[in-house]
Amino acid sequence: MSQVTKRALEQSLKNLLLKKPLTKITVGDITDDCGINRMTFYYHFKDIYDLVEWSCLEDAKRALEEKKTYDTWQQGFLQIFKAVQENKPFILNVYRCVHREQVEKYLQPLVDQLLLNVINEEAMGITVRDEDKQFIAQVYSYMFIGLMLDWIKDDMHEDPQQIVEKLYKLIKGSVSMALSRFKL
């Protein structure tokens, strides 16, 4: 039941964001739209920004399901772009109302985990310290998140498929090379 309530709150927030900016939406607006009381909202989320963060993470997790290997990371990134595009009014409203660093905070753990899975798969048979793998993932994560944030800032005009293809050309084989440089 908890997930159903959270999803209902998320949908109410997304509905309201089609009508007004995030900064003008109150918890009361969300609970009225959703048909629940304020205490139920606070049982699940500490504030609206907590709901926004949860919503972003849930959308990204759904987009990344089963796309966490070396062979599927491009599809995972493309799915993130598509999930963002499908929620364009929500994402643009959030992007315009919170600091860029906050949006990075939403994306960072998911992208890091996707990349860490790819790196661990590529590191099979190579002895590399975990902190070095995490560093490599972090560097690639900054690259992807920077591209994503610039794409959002530019109103999502460029075709995500082209962005992912360019990224693939740029980094093809570089994960293996990076791992070999950190090899013990």
- Model pLDDT for residues 18-39, shown as the tens digit of each residue: 888 888 999 999 999 999 999 9
Q: Provide the 8-state DSSP code for 92.
A: H
Share of the chain residues as helix, strand and coil, in percent rounded to the nearest 5: 75, 0, 25
Q: Using 50, 70 and 90 to split pLDDT, how confident is the model at 57?
A: confident
- Model pLDDT for residues 2-17, shown as the tens digit of each residue: 889 999 999 999 899 8
Which one has a higher pLDDT value, 66 or 19? 19
Residue 26 CB-density burial (10 A; 0-12 exposed, 13-18 middle, 19+ buried): exposed
Q: How many CB atoms lie within 10 A of CB 133?
A: 20
